[in-house]
Amino acid sequence: MQDQAKAPVVDRSMTKPVISARSLDLTFQTNDGPVHALSSVDLDIGKGEFVSFIGPSGCGKTTFLRCIAALETPTGGTLTVNGMTPDEARRARAYGYVFQAAGLYPWRTIEKNIALPLEIMGYSKAEQDERIARVLDLVELSNFGKKYPWQLSGGMQQRASIARALAFDADILLMDEPFGALDEIVRDHLNEQLLELWARTEKTIGFVTHSIPEAVYLSTKIVVMSPRPGRITDVIDSPLPKERPLDIRDTPEFLAIAHRVREGLRAGHAYDD
């Protein structure tokens, strides 16, 4: 409840966007000819927003996230992150990235896995320990720091990988279907935890998903995309309050947004091909 008072929604639109894309294009050259992964994408993401990208395979949602992380280079248009190019933003440690697979190193304990980016970025040992303890607490894994990844469940592994992305204080968290490989019950639990974590840390989150309920439950903004060429078909600003218990998913407001997302997906998707 405090959070609502602290961060009124109107303020976000006043500030400069954290991520800004203008007529962004990305065409892959393949043996079967060019593939338009992204076509004229315009999008602004404000500070502290939770933005979900939803759409069928090939709609470019992951590609867009990878462009923000400078893992792909757009072939046209402009993209800025914190007012910088994605490359500069990366060097400024503007974002942490969470992949679908937790991707923890099996030869490192959970602590040591979280230390990985800190080692690479040259943090001192003392600061590493302090940060590891802090992010382990954030994802509720404090007692598991000394365990190896194979000793943890899939959901716990993914929480550890989120902790790893949070360890170096990036303002932006980019998540590419982080819970896609987990079962529904674990996923619900992690969604709840993620919202709590977002409220506590006030990060800006970009979240790619296949799941309509997940997108609606988590997001302040839902970006609906469609394939061939990959483009944005609808951007929905969620009217849901920031405080969201799981049973909010049965309210008429929630169902109305879910309906609009579904309509957007249907409109953008030609089923006959």
Partner 1 sequence: MRSLLPILTVLAAIAALWYAAVAPMNIRGALDVAERAGAEVVPAESRARFDTSIWRLMVDNAEHIGLGYSLERPRLPTPVQVGTELWKTTGEMALNGRPMSKRSLIYHGWITLQSTLWGFALGTVLGMAGAIAIVYSRVVDMSLMPWAIISQTIPIVALAPMIIVLSSQVGIEGRTVPKAIISAYLCYFPVLVGMVKGLRSPGAAQLDLLRTYSASGLQAFLKLRLPASMPYLFTSLKIGIAAALVGTIVGELPTGAISGLGARILIGDQFGTPLAIWAALFAAAILAGVLVTLLDLMQRVTLRRMGMQA
154 touches partner 1 by CB under 8 A: no
Q: Does 116 bind partner 1 (CB under 8 A)?
A: yes
Binding of residue 125 to partner 1 (CB under 8 A): no
- The Cα–Cα gap between 67 and 63 comes to 6
Residues 6+ apart with CB under 8 A from 56: 226, 227, 265, 269
Tokens 């995309």 belong to which residue? Answer: 225
Residue 96 engages partner 1 in binding (rule: CB under 8 A): yes
Take residue 261 and report the two structure tokens written for it: 């997302």
Least gap, CB of 136 to partner 1 (angstroms) = 17
Judged by CB under 8 A, the residue of 16, 91, 125, 200 near partner 1 is: 91
Establish if 124 lies at the interface with partner 1 (CB under 8 A). Answer: no
Q: Please identify which residue in 109, 157, 209, 238 interacts with partner 1, judged by CB under 8 A.
A: 109
Among 1, 10, 14, 120, binds partner 1 (CB under 8 A): 120
The answer to whether residue 74 forms part of the interface with partner 1 (CB under 8 A) is no
The one among 34, 105, 253, 270 contacting partner 1 by CB under 8 A: 105
CA dist., res. 33 & res. 30, Å (int): 5
- Contact flag: residue 33 with partner 1 (CB under 8 A): no
b or e along 227-249 (b: 16 or more beta carbons within 10 Å of the residue's beta carbon)?
A: bbbbbbbbebebebebebeeeeb
- 271 scored as a contact of partner 1 (CB under 8 A): no
Alpha carbons 172 and 82: distance in angstroms, whole number: 10
Tell me the Ramachandran region of residue 254: left when phi exceeds 0, alpha when psi lies from -120 to 50, beta otherwise: alpha
Whose Cβ is closer to partner 1: residue 94's or residue 197's?
94
Residue from 3, 11, 42, 119 in contact with partner 1 (CB under 8 A): 119
Sequence-distant (6+) residues with CB within 8 A of 193 are 139, 140, 159
Given the rule CB under 8 A, which residues bind partner 1? 66, 69-71, 90-91, 93, 95-97, 99-101, 103, 105-109, 116-117, 119-121, 148, 150
